Structure formats: structure tokens, C-alpha cells
Amino acid sequence: MSSHEKALVPATSQYLSRLWKDAPKDVLQLRGSMQYGDEFKYVTVNVDPKKFKDRLEILHITDVQFGHLYCNVPVFREFRDWVLKEPNRLVLFGGDMVDAATAISVASPYENTEEPQGQVFSFVEEAMPMRHRVIGFTGGNHERRAAKTFGDLGHLIATFLKIPYSSGKQFIDVHYGDHKPFKISLWHGGTGSRTKGAKMQMLSRFMSQGEAQLYLVGHLHDAMMTFDWRERRKGGRIHLEKFAGVMSSSFLEHYGTYAEVAGMAPSGTLMWRCILEPSGHWELTAR
């Protein structure tokens, strides 16, 4: 090669080299099982209670719809930076992390700032500082908007961030202190329900599946929570075990978007947080 010639390096390779060079290193012990292709349906997380003696916080972040003209990016950054302020804060991605409108999707691509692949690149750069805190990720209908022409964008996001991904449901076991384990079921959600009762029915149906202590959904851009009790037989007695279902809202503005045009109820950004105590107790708060 002569002195005036240069080796050609694809722009994508340069992007990946720069992206992973500065990426945070893993700080948690994650183990994936129930592998289907590149997806992990079951994730086990081990957290040393000596490292976090007081509590462990798990924040649900869903329906960011990054790339939409009216995605509230400053609020997403505020949540990301809040997570990074304390080392005991972990994250679950609930899907619709990018908007990804296409020419054949329900929404118009003119509502977006760039094409779906560009949205993935931009979102990954925004989310990369907290990649080491993400313990689960389920894809939503917006990630699947590209499925007919490109592929599930959730796979691409998860590959760049090096986090466990499932296009459907994901089951997360968190081992922390007396939580042996704390069981979480994560799903993006479904249906086009608009009333509070119909939305709660979708959440309630999800809660009727399995034996998790916490069920998390998004999709309907509303915030709600409900508790229930499960009968457990042990030692000739019935022990009542509490479990909860939550729906977090969205980072998408209401006015000026399809939500306003369709007459949906307006909502702000409200994400649910689960606080685990090493004693085995836990509680829910919304941020």
C-alpha cells in the first residue's frame, strides 16, 4: 500500500469500535436460559447483599419511542442520569424504545426525525451509559414495525448494548438477600384498550399467568398499579403471598401526536420502581 493510500473502514465498524470502546463494563452476574435464537426468555441475576446493604432498586423504562418528533428526550436523559447516580439502581426495558415508523406501518415516517436504523444508532448512544444496569428487555410493537422489511429492531438494540432480549415475554429472577429469588415477569403489553377498566383487564390477564411477584407492562401509555394475593400451602397452613402488576406510561408527548388525533386520554411520563430490601420485603413507587 502506497503512502497516499488508506485502508477503507466501513462507517458501521468505526461506529461500533467507538461505541464499545467507551461502553461501561458489566457489574452484575447475569445468566440467560430458555434461549430461542438470539433471544433469552429467562434471565437470572445475582446481587451480593453485602454490596448493597440497604436496598436494591429496579426501574421500569418503557415506551420511549425515541426518534419520534415529540419524544421527550430530555426526560429520558433525566431518568438515565437518575439511575446512574446510585450504584444500586437497575433497569428493565419494556419495549417501544424507538418509534421506527415506516412507509408500511400504521404511523407516518414523516413523524420521525430519521429512518429506523438511524433511530436505533441514536437511541443506543443515549442508553449506552446505563447498559450495565439493564437486566432485561422485551420488545414492543414499534421494534417489530421493521420486521417485514428489515427484522426486529429489538435484536439490533440488544446486540449493540449487549443486554438480554426477548421479543415476547421475559422472566427475570433476582437473587438478593432473602429474595431467593424475587420473580419478575416482563412483557410489553397488548390490545388497543382505551378505558381504565379495559387496560386493567389486560394487566390482570397477564398477572394470572405464572407465579411472579411482579408483572410489568407498558404499551397503552397509561400508569396504573394493582396488588393481589396468592394462596401458598406450606406446613399444613395457608400463607398469603402478595404480588403486583404495574403499567408504566410513555416518554411520548400527547399533543401533536397520533394519540391526540385518535382521541386517546392524555398522560405524562410515569415509570414504576420496585424497591427490594435484603430482608425479603419489597415495595413499589412511581417516578
3-state helix, strand, coil in the chain (%, to 5): 25, 30, 45
Radius of gyration (Cα) for the chain, nearest Å? 20
Say how many domains are in the chain. Answer: 1
Q: Is residue 113 part of a domain?
A: yes
Q: What is the mean pLDDT of residues 247-257?
A: 93
Domain harbouring 256, CATH code: 3.60.21.10
pTM above 0.75, yes or no: yes
Mean predicted confidence (pLDDT) in 260-283? 92
What pLDDT is recorded for position 220? 94
Quote the CA–CA distance of 287 and 271 in Å, as a whole number. 5
In a domain, residue 88? The reply is yes
Q: Average pLDDT for residues 38-44, to the nearest whole number?
A: 97
263 within a domain of the structure (yes/no): yes
As a whole number, mean pLDDT of residues 131-146 equals: 95
- The 3-state secondary structure of 106-175, one letter per residue: CCCHHHECCCHHHHHHHHHHHHHHHHHHEEEEECCCCHHHHCCCCCCHHHHHHHHHCCCCECCCEEEEEE
Question: What pLDDT, in 10s, does the model give residues 90-135?
Answer: 999 999 999 998 888 877 888 999 999 999 999 999 999 999 999 9
Q: Which residues pair with 246 in a beta bridge?
A: 216, 225
- Minimum mean pLDDT among 15-29, 55-69, 78-92, 168-182: which range? 15-29
Q: What's the confidence (pLDDT) of residue 104? A: 83
Q: Is residue 167 part of a domain?
A: yes
How big is the chain, counted in residues? 287
Q: Provide the pLDDT confidence category of residue 1 given band limits of 50, 70 and 90.
A: very low
Is 201 contained in some domain?
Answer: yes
In a domain, 51, yes or no: yes
Give the single-character DSSP code of 126: H
Residue-range definition of the domain harbouring residue 185: 33-286
Which comes out higher in pLDDT, residue 192 or 68? 68
